[in-house]
Amino acid sequence: MFPGALLVLPLTLLAWFLAPLPGVKVLGPLGLALLLAASWRALFGLPKRAEPGVRFFARPLLRVAIVLMGVRLDFTKLAQAGPRVLVVDVLVVFLGAAFVAWLGGRLGVRRSLALLLGTGTSVCGASAIAAAGPLVRADEDDVAVSIGLISILGTIGVVSYPALASVAGLADNAYAILCGATLHEVPQVLAAAFARGEGAGDLGTLVKLTRVALLAPLALGLAALEARHRGEKITLEHLPLPWFVLGFVAVGALRSFGVVPAAWVPWLEQASRLLLVAAMAAVGLGVHADAVRRLGWAPIALALLGWLFVIATATVSAAALGLLG
């Protein structure tokens, strides 16, 4: 493990401390760790003796990070959001993921890559992609491309949403719902929604965290879909229930019912983020630059069209439910 850790840990710390700086802040620590590690691999390669340690960070440790990520869930907020917001988020998450998977097949995008792009677009960006990667048995190249494209589009959204909302004359509530239901990452929602004030920021965050909670049922669906695709038996006894997804839900439930002390929540959130950054550094070290370059235009088109579909779904459903008035 030691040679791999010698590569992963410095890249993790570098990304962690550089991420808040102007110019790279839009990437976030996960995207930055992935980029730094992939660049290192392209320039210097990956020594054979480092591969076991890198695999440990990219797989088992990633699953632990996903379990801890459940502390971000607060199921009591689902009740606060109300049924109409929940309906919008359910439509965005499940229709968005299904549409991107379907369109990926039409565009000739590799199946695992299309599923990752659908998950990242419809739920919560890099974190969702990291959680879905093991479920759809994606390789490091697919994870890297997905996170890269989603990070770029989310950054474009943060920059463009305030101007577009001003031109369209969106009310604060409508703007907050648009941010929470369609931007990819939680920090992107915070940056865009709070630009309109505390009320818009709080509502946008609530809508976004409801989407995050829907990662669990979507993840279980992806696991079942992948098992069926590979011809594996699916019954109640053999239903694919990944332990880390169950752990994610269990930690969220413990937090929601107050079993996890409130004082622990920020520390556990930070631990989860740090482990996710380390996992993304390990994933980046596994990226083959030539394989990424050969992907062509189709994944870019898929990520963009998937995002536009999510925006349309959120807008139409929110309007139909009277949330934009």
Domain edges within the chain: 2-320
Per-residue pLDDT of the chain (325 residues; tens, 9 = 90+): 888 899 999 999 999 999 888 877 766 787 788 788 888 988 888 888 988 888 888 778 878 887 888 887 777 766 766 788 889 999 999 999 999 999 999 999 999 999 999 999 999 888 888 888 888 888 888 888 888 888 778 878 877 888 888 888 888 888 999 999 999 887 778 778 877 887 788 788 888 888 888 888 898 888 888 878 777 765 555 555 567 777 888 888 898 888 888 899 899 989 988 998 898 888 778 777 666 677 788 999 999 999 999 999 999 999 998 887 6
Q: Please give the model's pTM, rounded to 2 decimal places.
A: 0.77
Residue closest to 36 by CA, chosen among 133, 156, 152, 148: 148
CB atoms within 10 A of CB 63: 19
- What's the rounded Cα separation, in Å, for the pair 116 and 110? 10
- Tokens standing for residue 223: 């696991």
Q: Which residue type occupies 228?
A: R
Residue 28 backbone zone (phi > 0: left; psi -120 to 50: alpha; other: beta): left
CB atoms within 10 A of CB 235: 6
Phi/psi of residue 245, each to 5°? -70, -40
